[in-house]
Structure formats: C-alpha cells, structure tokens
C-alpha cells in the first residue's frame, strides 16, 4: 500500500491549486455575500479542461484518473466550496451518467461539450415530495409518437439555469413503481422547460440552486438515457460516484478551516502569548488535523476503488458521510478558535461552517449513507 500520489496526480493537484488560489479564492467572500454564481469561473474551469480530467480523449477528456478529478474538486472547494460543487455537478452528475449509460450519438452530442468545458451540466432527481424517497417521482413522461412529453418539476437543482445539459428523471410507468422511472437528457431552451425561483441558502452561495419546471416539454425519443425503466438504477449509480465529489468538497472545506485555524492561533495573542500556546487550543488543532487526514484517506480510497473498477458504493458512502461530518466539526472548531472574530463575516471561517452543512445533506443525507453502509454490512 502506498500513501503517495503519482507524479501525474501531483501535477494535476498543483495546477488546480494554482488556479484556485489565484482565480477562485480572492472573490470567494464577495460571491458569498452577494449570493453570486460566477459564470466566468465556470467557463475558465471548462477552458482549462477540469471537466474532462477523468474521461477518455476520444470524448474530449484528458484520460487522467478519477482521483485526479477528485483532487480538483478538493482544491477548488478549499478556495470556494460553491465552485467545487459547480464542477462536481457537471462532471459526476451529468457527464458521468451520459458517459456510462449513453449511446455513442449522445456521447458525441452531449458529453463532448461538457468535457471540453463549453457547456455546463446538471442533474434533476429531487422533487418537492421526492427527496430521500427519490423513487416517488411525480414528474411524468408520456410517449407521444417520436417524443416523450414531460410534465412536472424538480427542486434544489445545482447549476439549474446555468447548465445547458440536464439529466432528468421522470415516471414513464407509474404502475411499475421504481422500475417505472426513466432518465432523459434535456437541453436548456427546449420549449416548455423553464426555471423557477433561485434558492436562498445557508451556504455555498456561489453555487446556483434553482427549480426545474416542465410544461409539455417534448423530448425526442433518442434523448432517453439508458432504457425505459432503468432510470432509478442510473440515478443511484450516478449518486454513488457523485458522493465522492461531495466528499472531496467537504474535505476541501475542512482543509481550509484547519489551515485558517492554525494560522490564526499562532497570530492571536491573549494573556501575553499566542492562543496556540494553550494546550487546549493545540489539542483541538491536533484533533482537527487527524480528522482531516482520516477523511482524506477515505475519500482518496473511494476514488481509487472507482479507478480500479472495484465496487465502490460502500466506500463512497463512508467517504461522504465521514468527510462531511468532520467538515462540520472542523469548521465549527475553527470558528471557536477564532473566538468572536470567527463569528464575524470579516473572517472566512463562518462561511466555511455554513458551507460545510450542505455536505451532510445532499446526494443522500448522512442518514442515507448510514443506510447504504449498514445495508452492505447486513446483506
């Protein structure tokens, strides 16, 4: 067992870190304050090829591995967690299911622009009444000649409105329950496909979250992703991978919180010495650093299982659950170490604490992750 990134992974990490520190970090506080998505950054990431990292050259990718992509999400999230999930939603939730379940035509038409970064992607599964219970989809798709006609709505969709390509789930046969769900590829601009209100969130303000609304949206038959009735399986497989992205996002947040806490504790003087000189603070930092590293091992392991073609559903669930839980703990501790200043928007740690919370909720709440993990133990 080797606990070292390869030379190639290290160069990827450095490349993204340089970009994140120079182009992403400086505006993070302002985007948070203004609740502003940056198309400029999304496009710059596209141009640099971030969305293509783990896809074959034949589909516009760079032919590197999943771990390199995960390192990119971590580095971006260390600078701005909203930007990290912007990339992860395009890559893990939209490009990947098209790559894995799409036809050759769908890959050329929809995957290539995503990997080459000229388009952004999104994933529409959650509905007002179908959250954790994703199987109770109320959006319906009815076959009419050469088209499916889609009606319904989706809520809390990352990149909605900004993305050009959408992987959307709808019920094609209610009588079959879970086996009646089908996946489709939708394009922004299809008649009847609109966006609802922008969500005002606790954190990840630089990520766009919006509703999808479908009113008699005609989707050509050839835009069905996978087979009819295969939708739920596609959604679950996609989320297995997406969870590694969320785990990397959480890891990036935790890493940032740790770094800020170490630096501040050395600079802040109370009782005539740096607060870091108190063992109470030093021990907190020690616990934080250990948690961050443990999370890192789980996250990188899940990515490397995926790279090796091993089953990774349980590993991804463990990585997502643990990394998000410790991101919440570590960022809360960072606020504590900053004292009153940590509670102030003048310093970045309160943003990290607000950003961390979502990682325990989306792409399967941490209760769901525990269901996945215990399910695989008790099988």
Partner 1 sequence: MEIVVCVKQVPDTTEVKIDPVTNTLIRQGVPSIVNPFDKNAVEAALQLKEKHGGKVTVISMGPPQAKDALKECLAMGADEALLISDRAFGGADTLATSYTIACAIKKLGNVDMIICGKQAIDGDTAQVGPEIAEHLDLAQVTCVSKIEVEGNSIKVEREHEEGYEIIETQTPVLLTVLKSINEPRFPTIKGTMKANRKEIPTWTAGDMDVNPDQLGLKGSPTQVRRIFTPQQRVQGEIIKADSAREAASKLASKLLEAKIV
Residues lying near ligand FAD in the complex (CB under 6 A) are found at 89, 123-126, 131-132, 156-158, 201, 209, 268, 270-271, 275, 278, 280-281, 336-337, 339-341, 343, 358, 361-363, 365, 367
Query: Which residue, 66, 62, 68, 33, is CA-closest to 49?
Result: 62
Q: Which does 52 bind (CB under 5 to 8 A by kind): ligand FAD, partner 1, none?
A: partner 1
Separation of alpha carbons 205 and 35, rounded Å: 5
SS3 content of the chain, % helix, strand, coil (to 5): 60, 15, 25
Q: Is 91 in the site for partner 1 (CB under 8 A)?
A: no
**Contact of 265 with 276, CB cutoff 8 Å:** yes
Of 55 and 169, CB closest to partner 1: 55
With CB under 8 A as the contact rule, the residue among 47, 144, 222, 346 that binds partner 1 is 47
Least CB distance to ligand FAD at residue 306 (A): 20
| Listed ranges 59-67, 262-270, 305-313, 371-379: which one lies at the site for partner 1 (CB under 8 A) | 59-67
The answer to the question of residue 49 lying near partner 1 (CB under 8 A) is yes
Q: For partner 1, give the closer residue by CB, 33 or 63.
A: 63
Per-residue binding string, partner 1, 16-45, x by CB under 8 A, is: --xx--xx----------------------
Which is the catalytic residue, given 75, 162, 350, 363?
363
Among the residues of the chain, which ranges form H helices? 7-19, 28-34, 39-48, 66-79, 81-88, 96-101, 104-106, 112-115, 231-267, 279-307, 313-337, 349-359, 366-377
Nearer to ligand FAD, 190 or 341 (CB): 341
Min dist CB 4 to ligand FAD, Å, is 34
CA angle 157, 366, 156 (to 5 degrees): 10
64 contributes a contact to partner 1 by CB under 8 A: yes
Q: Note whether 361 binds partner 1 by CB under 8 A.
A: no
Contact yes or no for 137/181 (Cβ under 8 A): yes
Catalytic annotation present for 363:
yes
Sign of the CA dihedral with 196 first, then 198, 201, and 207 last = positive
Give me the residue whose beta carbon is nearest to ligand FAD. Answer: 131
Nearer to partner 1, 12 or 321 (CB): 12
Tell me how far apart the alpha carbons of residues 169 and 175 are, in angstroms, rounded to a whole number.
Answer: 16
By CB under 8 A, tell whether 5 contacts partner 1.
no
CB 126, CB 176: distance < 8 Å: no
Strand 121-124 with 165-171, pairing? parallel
Contact footprint for partner 1 (CB under 8 A)? 7-8, 11-12, 15, 18-19, 22-23, 47-50, 52-53, 62-64
Active site residues per annotation: 363
């Amino acid at each position: 067992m080797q606990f070292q990134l390869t030379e190639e992974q290290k160069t990827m990490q450095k490349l993204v870190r340089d970009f994140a520190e120079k182009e992403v970090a400086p505006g993070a506080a302002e985007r948070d304050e203004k609740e502003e998505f940056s198309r400029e950054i999304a496009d710059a990431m596209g141009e640099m090829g971030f969305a293509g990292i783990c896809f074959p050259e034949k589909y516009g990718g760079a032919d590197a591995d999943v771990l390199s992509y995960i390192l990119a999400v971590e580095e971006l999230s260390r600078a701005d967690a909203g930007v990290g999930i912007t990339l992860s939603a395009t890559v893990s939730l939209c490009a990947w299911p098209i790559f894995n379940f799409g036809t050759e035509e769908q890959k050329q038409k929809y995957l290539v622009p995503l990997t080459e970064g000229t388009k952004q992607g999104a994933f529409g599964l959650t509905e007002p009444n179908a959250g954790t219970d994703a199987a109770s989809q109320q959006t319906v798709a009815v076959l009419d000649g050469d088209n499916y006609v889609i009606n319904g709505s989706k809520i809390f969709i990352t990149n909605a409105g900004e993305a050009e390509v959408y992987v959307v789930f709808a019920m094609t046969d209610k009588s079959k329950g879970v086996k009646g769900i089908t996946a489709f590829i939708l394009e922004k601009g299809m008649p009847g496909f609109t966006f609802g209100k922008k969500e005002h969130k606790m954190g990840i303000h630089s990520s766009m979250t919006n509703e999808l609304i479908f009113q008699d949206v005609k989707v050509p038959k050839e835009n069905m992703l996978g087979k009819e009735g295969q939708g739920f399986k596609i959604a679950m497989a996609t989320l297995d991978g997406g969870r590694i992205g969320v785990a990397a996002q959480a890891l990036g947040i935790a890493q940032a919180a740790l770094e800020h806490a170490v630096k501040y504790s050395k600079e802040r003087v109370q009782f005539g010495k740096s607060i870091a000189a108190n063992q109470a603070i030093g021990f907190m930092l020690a616990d934080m650093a250990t948690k961050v590293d443990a999370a890192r091992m789980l996250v990188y392991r899940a990515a490397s299982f995926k790279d090796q073609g091993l089953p990774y559903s349980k590993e991804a669930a463990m990585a997502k659950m643990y990394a998000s839980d410790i991101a919440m703990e570590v960022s809360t501790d960072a606020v504590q170490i900053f004292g009153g200043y940590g509670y102030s928007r003048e310093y970045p740690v309160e943003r990290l604490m607000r950003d961390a919370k979502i990682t325990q909720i989306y792409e399967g709440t941490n209760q769901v992750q525990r269901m996945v993990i215990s399910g695989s133990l008790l099988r």
